[in-house]
Each structure stands twice: as structure tokens, then as C-alpha cells.
Chain A
Amino acid sequence: MNKKLLSGPYLMWMIGFIIIPLALIVLYGVTDRSGSFTLANIISITTEEHAKALWLSLLLSFVSTALCLILAYPLAMILRSRGIGQGSFIVFIFILPMWMNFLLRTLAWQTLLERNGVINGVLSTLRLPSLNLINTPGAIILGMVYNFLPFMVLPIYNVLMKIDDNVVNAARDLGANSFQVLIRILLPLSIPGVVSGITMVFVPALTTFVISNLLGGSKILLIGNVIEQEFTKGSNWNLGSGLSLVLMVFILISMALIAKYDKNGEGTAF
């Protein structure tokens, strides 16, 4: 009885803010404006414009996630070797920008990369040709990596810090050199952290529309932008919901693929 009372608020939260909205999205997604059942919203992903946006989104978030992983793992290793005190100070410095507004940070990049922005300003004073930085896929990837990198560093750092030094010592004792220690001990033991890092970077990167709006301009449409536009400018909630459902399926598929490598299920939501 007591337990039921305690879980009451959470149950109401789940129903009110998760189940009902999700059901509404599904309902909108499979109906047309007049309210009758249709699969047209979902099938519209196959139109060239939408398929291209989805493909580009998948590509850019995949590249961003990979870059984050490549940057974060060595950093987490360095932090581990620094020990608790110094390591956590560096982590603190690292996540400091996260305390600033996400929009503000991305706007700062816009100012830096713009045609008449800071970087091109510096280049022109040096009498160098100006670069076409903004409104490119590269700019979007840069924005994603910059904003999401801490979400990759933290879980990997946490899981690496939890590995007992003597486990590493034992491996060295048994004849493993530093490279073998990394491949056979540290990497496999840090998989849960890597998996949750990938999840925490890939999913927001796949669904973002702010970064692509600010750094990609109107030329580069990601699936997030398409959905956003259907809800705001297009006022076609049915189409937006249908595309959201498709996106959710893609996220589920990617997560299932990742979860295959995380036997203990420590890193994912599953």
C-alpha cells in the first residue's frame, strides 16, 4: 500500500508527460487533417526531400559521434592517469561551458564562422583569402562536437576511474605492455561508458534543429529542421508527427545495434 502511494506521483508524471504526449504523436502521425486513418505521413519519408534530410542527419550525427569518441577517449585516459584531484579539476574546466546557455554557445560559433565573422576578419587583416565556413556540413559537425563532447567525456571518464589500478597492475604483471593493457583491459572494461557516451551524443545530434538552423543556414536541412518546420511554419502537425515516428524508429534501431556490444546493459536505457 505504502509503495503504491509512493509511486503515485511518478505514475501520474509518466502518464501525463510521457504516455499521453507519445500517444498524441502516434495519433497525429497516422491520421490526416480530417482525422481519418492514413499512412501517408509516414510514407512521406520516402520523398526525395525528406529522405535526403534523414540521410544527412544520420551521416552528420554519425560523424560527430565518431569525432567525439576519438577526442574523448584519449582525454579520459589522460584524466585517469592524472588521479582523482587533478583529474576532476580538468573535468570541471571541461564542463564549465555547459553551464552557459546552449543557444548562446552556438550563436558564438555563428559569429566566429560567419562570412564577415571573426575568423574571416582575422584572415583578411592577414591578407589571406576568406573561407566559406558557415552554412556547410562541416560547420554543423563542429557545432555538434563542441556542444556534445562533454556528454561523451563524462561517462567514459567515470567508467575508467572506476577501474581498480591493481587490475591494470595485474595485467602488466602478467606480461602485458601498455598497448595490450589498453586493448585487452581498459577498452573492454570501459564499453559501458562508451555506449552511454554514444547514446548521449548520437540521439541529440540526430534530432537537433538548433545547431543546423544557426550553423547550416536554410540550405542544409536536417530531419530535425523538416519536422520543426512542419510544426511551426507548415502547421502540418500530422506530417511532423509521422516523420517524428520514423525518426524514433531509427533511434531505436541504432540503440539496439549499440546495445549488442554492451552485454551488461550498464550504458543504455534498455
Chain B
Amino acid sequence: MGQPLIDLRNITKSFDGTMVLDDLNLSVKENTFVTLLGPSGCGKTTTLRIIGGFERPGKGQVIFDGQDITNLPPNKRQLNTVFQKYALFNHMSIAENIAFGLKIKNKPKPYIQDKIKYALKLVNLDGFENRSVSSLSGGQQQRIAIARAIVNEPRVLLLDEPLGALDLKLRQDMQYELIRLKNELGITFIYVTHDQEEALTMSDTIVVMNQGYIQQMGSPENIYNEPENAFVADFIGESNIVPGIMLRDELVDIFGAKFACVDKGFGINKPVDVVIRPEDIDLVSPDQGSIAGVVTHLIFKGVHYEMEVMTPDGFEWLVHSTDMFPVGQNVGIHVDPFDIQIMNKPASEDEEAVGINE
């Protein structure tokens, strides 16, 4: 606790004149699972590579445990990286791969042997010492890449979309594996992904990035339930983002209908953006809802039905519900006050540019 383990200060980076990171500040505490989440090109991988030492920032400092490591090469840093496509050494056996970092540091042989055994056990691949890299599946290769990194006892493990190349089932299994690993090792994980579900499942802290800026930083619950702007709301899960007018504290007007909410302090008659998650909309009979509409689409999704409800103003509301309403049926829309999230409208066009661009 106390001072952060990693502190990025005013990091700016551009490639060929294109700004990738603009004055980025980020603090990471010891023993947390931090995820950098964002669409491709948002600067998340560049941030990771700057922490790892593979890129130098144009401006700014990288502070590690109170020391400036901005200009330190990767081999002098107390952190290890797990790369997207594993980057294993194909000309070595599994044991040699794992031993690589320890041999470089001239550790004694018995120590290395113990470490290899321990690491393989940790990633559930006991007895794989003498296998060749090419005989392993993608998931197994990724586990070896993790084992190769953690035997060096880094204080921080950097993971660059490590599950990106795996299929869905394996990806989910590996998510639990990673959480378990992090808890067993008690070290800091900094994880880069564009998969919001992965981020929500594993992280203590999520950093949502877009176009070189941090959009929001917080716990998964906080990010999901209280998105600070339209980009975050849209990127993390599905959502209805509708224009509204804050009539007064705890009351918002959407398309002429009044909705009770729990947000305060926006002022009186202030235009705002309103975020309502599809699963938070209750469909009721037309006279009971706040707004009436008609069902225009219906898709069965397994766990729930996905429906679209058109209201007289022309907006199509995305609704997830376990109850089915057939296309053409008149329904009413009801939303509980605490399910409504009010956001300020973007203050300027500049801020808007940081918004939804996918």
C-alpha cells in the first residue's frame, strides 16, 4: 500500500507523427490485477510496451518502485512480459524455454531444475519438460509462456492479449487460471485486452482507453454500472444511450416522459446523456410503463431474448429479458430509478472526438 508500484507520468508517444498516447498518467498498486481495455489502436499495447521497456516514451517518466526506469532496457527491468503469440523459443525444449531467464542470470542448476518443476506444476503441465514447442497446443504454449515469465519472480507480469489466439472455451478456462495464478503468486498483473468480458471477469481495476486517452478507471462494477461517458457505456457491454433533460435532482425527462432516477447535482433543465442497460428495462403493459412502444425485433439468445422496442419518437430501445414479447405487440417501458445512469454531455467537440469511433 502507500506509494504505487508503477507510476506513469505524463507519458506521450507518437509514431510517424501520429499521437498514440497523449499525456497519460496511470498508477498501479502492488498486488492488483489491472486491465487496460480498449479498441485496437487505443494505445493500450503501446502503454504496456513502454512499461516493458520495448518502446521509449516521447515525453514523460516511468517510475517503478520509486525509481525512474524510463531509459532502462527491458533486460534490466524487474518485470516480465507474456506476448500475444507466445513468442516461445522453437529451437529449445520446454524446460530450456522456462530455464532461459534463470540461465542468463547464472542461477545454480539444482535451483533451475526446482523452478522448472514448480512452474510447470503451477500451469498444470507437469512432466512436459522434454516436449518440443511445436508439439503443444495454443493453450499449452501460452501456459509455457507464462511459466517462462514467472520463474524469474517478477514483481509485475505484463500480459499482452495472451488469450487472443485461443478459442472461446479455452479462453474462459484460462481466465480462471490467470486469476488463480495471480492469487497464488501475489504479484501485480497488468493485462491488455480488447475483450470487455475478459476485463470484467479478471480485473481488480479496469482502465478503459480510447485514442490515447484514459476514459475511465475503476472497479469492474463501477465501470459497468457507472460509465462516465458514452464511449465507456457503449464499449463495456450493450447499452441504450439516449438524450435527456435533467429536470431537477432525481428526475430526468426522456423523449417527453419523466423517469425517476438517483443522480443529483446536474442542475435544473440541463441536457444530459442517459445510459440504460438492456437488461435493466422491464417490459410491461402499455398503460403501466413510462413510455409506450411496439416490439420490432425478436431474437432468441439462449439465456435471454433480445428485443427492440420502437417508441413514437423513433428511438429503438434494446431490451434483454427472459420474458418473450412477440413482434408487433404494444408494450410499456419501465426502468427502476437506480438502473438509470446520467452522464454529462460532452463539453466540447474535442471531447466528442474521444467518444465512440468504432
CA gap between A253 and B75 in the complex, in Å: 43
Contact of A177 among B75, B80, B83, B101 (CB under 8 A): B75
Bound CA span A176–B77, Å: 11
B100 to chain A, nearest CB (A): 5
* A189 (CB) vs chain B CBs: closest residue: B91
The B-contacting residues of A in range 170-184, CB under 8 angstroms, are 170-177, 180, 184
**Which residues in B have their C-beta under 8 angstroms from that of A169?**
52, 54, 74, 81, 83, 87
Q: Is the CB of B80 within 8 A of A174?
A: yes
CB contact between B104 and one of A167, A174, A188 (< 8 Å): that residue: A174
Closest CB of chain B to A167's CB: distance in Å? 5
Asked if A46 is at the interface of the complex by the 8 Å CB criterion, the answer is no
Category for how many chain A residues contact B: 10 to 19
Chain A 23-42, CB within 8 Å of chain B: the 1/0 string?
A: 00000000000000000000
What is the distance, in angstroms, from A170's C-beta to the closest C-beta of chain B?
A: 4
> Which residue of the partner chain A has the closest CB to B105?
A175
Asked if B219 CB lies within 8 Å of chain A CBs, one says no
**Chain B residue with the shortest CB-CB distance to A180:** B104
Q: Are A175 and B152 in contact (CB under 8 A)?
A: yes
User: Is the C-beta of B148 less than 8 angstroms from some C-beta in chain A?
Assistant: yes
Q: How far does the alpha carbon of A167 sit from the alpha carbon of B86 in the complex, in Å?
A: 8
Distance in angstroms between the alpha carbons of A34 and B337 in the assembled complex:
111
Contact-residue size bin, chain B (C-beta under 8 Å from the other chain): 20 to 34
> Considering the complex, which residues of chain B in the window 89-116 have a beta carbon less than 8 Å from any beta carbon of chain A?
89-91, 100-101, 104-105
**Closest Cβ of chain B: how far from A75's Cβ, in Å?**
23
Minimum C-beta distance from A106 to chain B (A): 38
Task: Count CB-based A-B contacts (< 8 Å).
Answer: 60
Q: Contact check, A170 vs B91: say whether CB atoms are below 8 A apart.
A: no
Nearest residue, chain B, Cβ from A184: B100
Is A167 in contact with B84, judged by CB distance below 8 angstroms? no
Q: In the complex the two chains form, what is the Cα distance from A169 to B160 in whole Å? A: 13
Nearest opposing residue in chain A for B100, CB measure: A174
- Interchain nearest-CB distance for A206 vs B (Å): 29
Select from chain A the residue with minimum beta-carbon distance to B154: A173
Contact among A174, A180, A185, A189 with B148 in the assembled complex (CB-CB below 8 Å): A174
CB contacts (< 8 Å) of A48 on chain B: these are none
- Let me know if A173 and B74 touch, CB within 8 A: yes
Residue of B nearest to A187 (CB): B91
Asked if B85 lies at the interface with its beta carbon under 8 angstroms from chain A, I say: yes
A117 to B83, CA, bound (A): 58
Q: How many Å lie between the Cα of A97 and that of B89 in the bound state?
A: 37
Asked whether any CB of chain B lies closer than 8 Å to the CB of A7, the reply is no
* Closest Cβ–Cβ distance, residue B154 to chain A (whole Å): 9
Evaluate whether A173 and B81 lie within 8 angstroms (CB atoms) in the complex, with A164-B87, A167-B87 already known.
Answer: yes
Q: A58 to B149, alpha carbons, bound, how many Å?
A: 47
Complex CA distance for A177 and B91, rounded to whole angstroms: 19
Are A172 and B73 touching (Cβ within 8 A)? Answer: yes
Residues of chain B within 8 A (CB-CB) of A218 are none
The A-contacting residues of B in range 24-79, CB under 8 angstroms, are: 52-54, 73-75
CB distance from A218 to the nearest CB of B (A): 48
Residues in chain A near residue B84, CB distance under 8 A? 166
Pair B74/A172 contact, Cβ less than 8 Å: yes
Compute how far the CA of A166 lies from the CA of B73 in the bound complex, rounded to whole angstroms: 15
14 contacts between A and B (CB under 8 A): A164-B85, A164-B87, A166-B87, A167-B87, A170-B88, A171-B100, A172-B54, A172-B74, A173-B149, A174-B149, A174-B152, A175-B75, A177-B75, A189-B90
- 16 additional A-B residue pairs with CB within 8 Å, beyond A166-B87, A169-B81: A164-B85, A166-B83, A167-B88, A169-B52, A169-B74, A170-B81, A170-B87, A170-B88, A172-B53, A172-B74, A172-B75, A173-B52, A174-B148, A174-B152, A175-B152, A189-B89
